[in-house]
Amino acid sequence: GNYTGAYRPRVHFSPPTEFMNDPNGMFVNADGLYHLYYQYDPTATVAGNQHWGHATSKDLYTWENQKIALWTPNNYTFVFSGSAVVDVNNTSGFFPNQTNGVVAIYTLAQYPNNAPGPQTQNIATSHDGGYTFDAYASNPVIDSTSTQFRDPKVLWYEPGQHWVMVLAFAADFSIGIYTSPNLKDWTPQSNVTNVGLLGLQYECPNLVEIPWEDGPQETAWLLAISINPGAPLGGSITQYFAGDFNGTHFEPFDRAARIADFAKDNYAGQWFSGIPGTESQVSIAWASNWQYTQQVPTGPTEGWRSQMSLPRVNYLKNATRIGYVLVSEPYNISAVYTEELAYNSSLGNSSILLDYSSVESGALYFEANITSLSPTTAVGALNFTFSSSISGEYITGGTVVNGDTWLDRGHTNAFDNPFFTNKFSATGLYSGSDNGTWTISGVIDRSIFEVFVNGGEQSGTMTFYATQPLDTMRIGAAGIAANATVSVGVWALADTWA
Ligand code: FRU
């Protein structure tokens, strides 16, 4: 792949060429090597001829492209989304002489005569650690005549010593839960139906046990359901439900839909399989939206479309009034710091202006923290702007303490599309458990911006397309009470594709 294009993110994964959507098959092996597969049309900058592309990474920021892992079996059957697991204990019987056998579980979607045909669940085995796969001779492992039955995500359920699959009956707004002793024979156990937002389809479910910071129990189970089309802001978005899971049934704590991201470019996220225990659960999402992904300008100008989100650490945290919230923040981003560009431990109600045109990657991480807030002086705002010294185009955003966070991509001019909405916002509540702090952090990376409030209690993922590179940053505070302190730091990030 040619990664020199001006829109190419430098610490995010994007495909070598042509079109990418959902992350698939994510697992980490015993040596700590991360495998990312992805929905990949290697023949066009739009979706259609779906394969599984493949890349590997040791740090989740520096990626090495690998050969296509799953190929279409014929010219009318496509390899749709799914997952992969390492069958350490050879439950499948496929791997008598190794502990690193990989099983991919995926949907085959048939389109005979270009019309939607059956979607079935299939498996393939890899004896070389996930680089090459052979389809199982007795596929499919779950047969169906439905045209709307897909996206199996498999996990090992330790207490019951069995595998669990969640998958979408997409048009029925239902998530099926199946179990298996061996990854080959699957038994339907239960369904989670009509929860939260329906949109027009449920897709890409995930089920994972996740830590709950200071919660009434140490962990909870999280069911994430992506919906497309029909997200509240248009197109695609992911909602989540925390609850209890007993190996066969999931019971959400409440029936409310909580949305994983307050902007429009975060969909079909997947949790890595194979991360031991629940100390942290790491996810990556597709950072785009079906409403406009096939029109974004990287197609005609640079020959590729779509990027993944940053790797995120996730856990649950208590939240004022709504009970709990899913926290999502960049995973170990300091691994790709190259240089501290600015640091001020007592900014007060002023701002920093930074010319970062000499940062080769064009990628930055920043963090602004207000500390020593008291309940009576929990006021103020943090605002930032990234602009082009050549064209004047910019993206901007900020957060109001105990109030709203916002993002605006409306002043970048390379992409005009009715669904490429300009402005996004979310509301947060300051609480006693915030220890007198309110923070915002973010990553800008050429054509993608991700923001995190209070360590990820709210997060927003936003792609943007300017005609000229952004090279100037301004960040500042306003309205902060005299007894509160503002600290700001900005770091340059590595050019991992150089
Ligand atoms: C979600 C999705 C999945 C499907 C895949 C096809 O973005 O529609 O439901 O498996 O993309 O590429």
Query: Can you give the pLDDT at residue 467?
Result: 98
| Cα 176 to middle of ligand 1, angstroms | 17
- Longest CA–CA span in the chain (Å) reads 71
* Ligand 1 mutation target, pool 21, 175, 237, 293, most atoms within 8 A of CB: 21
Collapsed DSSP state (helix, strand, coil) of residue 71:
coil
Query: Can you give the pLDDT at residue 278?
Result: 64
Global ipTM? 0.99
Collapsed DSSP state (helix, strand, coil) of residue 334:
helix
Examine the pLDDT at 279 and tell me if it is beyond 90.
Answer: no
> Would the CB of 326 count as within 6 Å of ligand 1?
no
Q: Which of 6-15, 244-253, 423-432 has the lowest mean pLDDT?
A: 423-432
Query: Can you give the pLDDT at residue 277?
Result: 66
Query: Can you give the pLDDT at residue 222?
Result: 97
> Would the CB of 203 count as within 6 Å of ligand 1?
yes
Q: Compute the distance between CA of residue 441 and CA of residue 444 in angstroms, rounded to an integer.
A: 10
Query: Among this protein's residues, is 404 annotated catalytic?
Result: no
Answer whether 384's CB lies under 8 Å from 488's CB. Answer: no
> Would the CB of 81 count as within 6 Å of ligand 1?
yes
Tens of pLDDT, residues 115-172: 999 999 999 999 999 999 999 999 999 999 999 999 999 999 999 999 999 999 999 9
* Ligand 1 mutation target, pool 51, 83, 151, most atoms within 8 A of CB: 151
**Percent of the chain whose predicted confidence (pLDDT) is above 90:** 94
Round the average pLDDT of the chain to a whole number and report it: 96
Tens of pLDDT, residues 218-273: 999 999 999 999 999 999 999 999 999 999 999 999 989 999 999 999 999 999 99
**CA 430 to chain CA centroid, nearest Å:** 26
Tens of pLDDT, residues 180-222: 999 999 999 999 999 999 999 999 999 999 999 999 999 999 9
> Would the CB of 24 count as within 6 Å of ligand 1?
no
Kindly indicate the confidence band of residue 432, based on its pLDDT and cuts at 50, 70 and 90.
low
Mean pLDDT, range 7-17, rounded to an integer: 98
| Cα 496 to middle of ligand 1, angstroms | 28
Answer whether 362's CB lies under 8 Å from 334's CB. Answer: no
For 364, the enclosing helix (H) or strand (E) is strand 363-371
Kindly indicate the confidence band of residue 431, based on its pLDDT and cuts at 50, 70 and 90.
confident
Q: Compute the distance between CA of residue 70 and CA of residue 79 in angstroms, rounded to an integer.
A: 7
* Ligand 1 mutation target, pool 150, 169, 292, most atoms within 8 A of CB: 150
> Would the CB of 107 count as within 6 Å of ligand 1?
yes
> Would the CB of 136 count as within 6 Å of ligand 1?
no
Tens of pLDDT, residues 452-494: 999 999 999 999 999 999 999 999 999 999 889 999 999 999 9
Mean pLDDT, range 302-329, rounded to an integer: 95
What sign results for the dihedral spanned by CA atoms 27, 57, 285, 81?
negative
